[in-house]
Structure 1
Amino acid sequence: MKTNQLKQWAHFFLTYKFALDAVETKLNILNEEFQFIHDYNPIEHMKTRIKAPESVMQKLQRKGLPITLEDAKEHIRDIAGVRVICSFSTDIYQIVDMISKQSDVRVVELKDYVINPKPNGYQSIHLLIEIPVFLTDRTENVLVEIQIRTIAMDFWASLEHKIYYKFNEQIPPHIQEQLKGSADMIHLLDRQMLALNVEVQKHREQALK
């Protein structure tokens, strides 16, 4: 690539960094205010990432598309990502609701793998949003993918991801079955921990009366 093209690509990815910064700030504000009002924070922690330029270009090639900034912006929707980790499954929908109500956020797509898990047992919410980034000479609307899941769901997904690549994306059937069984157990664990939390809240409310 020529120097001018490299600079354009670098600036392109910089806008996604700005979008991630904006989303992370929003989530931190919502979490802190929720803590102030309800004495409870739904977000345990967050992770952000931006796809490497090489990864974006390879994905364009696999899709049979030209390697241009315009095609990257239009066809690659997961360049910028935020993973939000919660304590309980109800927190997931609380966060979806809060972020969706932001006046400068447009929800582009929502995939609910909590109510409808993937066949392998994977659970999470994938929320694709569009957020404005105010640059020196213009405003860019940038896509950011937000994945929201519980600590237990994240534990399972992290291990599944490692196993997936260890077997070069071809996981043996008996290991797939064990992973699905583990996902079912994690779903049960999430339900039990939520029920326990509800019980604790009841006792706390009664003690304050």
Structure 2
Amino acid sequence: MGFVQRIEENVVGIFQKKIAPALQLMTYYRCALMEVETKFKVLNEEFSLSHDRNPIEHIKTRIKTPESIRKKMRTLQIPKNVDSLEKNIHDIAGIRIICQFVDDIYVLADCLLAQDDVALIEKKDYIANPKESGYRSLHLIIEVPIFLHNEKRQMKVEVQLRTIAMDFWASLEHRLTYKKDINNEKANNISSELKNCAETSVWLDLKMQDIRNNIERIEKRGN
């Protein structure tokens, strides 16, 4: 066996031992995201038939980047292997459901969790109990099965449900608060303004929901 061939086989061996299992796990997470996304799309279609409107404005999915995963593993101080990764980090696969109204969030969450192949691992309601910053959203960690050619695996997915206003606020808050060149005093002022904006968005969400309810009552009366 030549020197180059031995090097090539060593490289392949390292890949199969170190990298291939991680790539396989990421594939499993992508499959789990497809399963959960399909569930929400089906609920959206069903809702459009029964209520003559779609509760979901749009859907976003993501897999954590390798750098983000490494950072979280360091923070949690967990072993750097695939088994530890799958066991301890529950938000590698994430799906964000953007809804039109606040009550749609809870209806969709209840419908999802009522499905017999969905297991709730953790729930954090930042709508009922907003973060200090003003952040609002409903977070669920769920477990769903994926069906492979020779096995069934249970995979965890983080689900975030929020309104358009909540998503708009969260996106801007993330961009603005992670600016590196803002001193502490100005950063505190910006945080205070963002919290005021969050309170305004709460009012806006509830007002829009009231208007929708009023329109539906008028339509039912036929005038």
Residue 69 of structure 1: which of 82, 86, 106 is its match?
82
Distance in 2, Cα, partners of 1:129 & 1:151: 23
1:182 matched residue in structure 2: 197
Q: Secondary structure at the match of 1:166?
A: coil
Q: Which has the larger radius of gyration?
A: 2
- Find out whether 1:79 has 2:104 as its counterpart: no
- Find out whether 1:51 has 2:64 as its counterpart: yes
Q: Secondary structure at the match of 2:178?
A: helix
How far apart are 1:168 and its partner, in Å? 7.3
1:11-30 superposed matches below 5 A: 11-30=24-43
- Length-normalised TM-score, structure 1: 0.95
CA deviation vs aligned residue, 1:164-203 (integer Å, no higher than 9, x gap): 2114796721111101100000000111101100111011
Q: CA RMSD, aligned part only?
A: 1.6
How far apart are 1:21 and its partner, in Å? 0.3
Distance in 2, Cα, partners of 1:164 & 1:70: 34
1:112-131 superposed matches below 5 A: 112-131=125-144
CA deviation vs aligned residue, 1:19-68 (integer Å, no higher than 9, x gap): 00000001000110111122121111100000122321232122222210
Distance in 2, Cα, partners of 1:17 & 1:37: 31
Distance in 2, Cα, partners of 1:42 & 1:124: 16
Distance in 2, Cα, partners of 1:118 & 1:168: 24
How far apart are 1:75 and its partner, in Å? 0.9
How far apart are 1:3 and its partner, in Å? 1.1
Distance in 2, Cα, partners of 1:80 & 1:87: 23
CA deviation vs aligned residue, 1:132-165 (integer Å, no higher than 9, x gap): 1111222111100010000001000000000121
- Find out whether 1:154 has 2:167 as its counterpart: yes
Residue 166 of structure 1: which of 163, 174, 179 is its match?
179
Distance in 2, Cα, partners of 1:151 & 1:188: 13
Gaps of 5+ in 2: 1-10
2:15 matched residue in structure 1: 3
% identity of equivalent residues: 42
CA deviation vs aligned residue, 1:116-143 (integer Å, no higher than 9, x gap): 1001100000011000111122211110
C-alpha change, 1:168 and 1:116, in structure 2 (3 Å) is farther
1:92-103 superposed matches below 5 A: 92-103=105-116
- With 96-105 and 163-172 compared, the bigger mean Cα shift is at 163-172
Question: Which portions of structure 1, spanning 4 or more consecutive aligned residues, are displaced by more than 2 angstroms?
Answer: 167-171
For 2:49, the aligned partner's letter is F
Distance in 1, Cα, partners of 2:38 & 2:141: 17
- With 36-45 and 163-172 compared, the bigger mean Cα shift is at 163-172
Distance in 1, Cα, partners of 2:77 & 2:51: 50
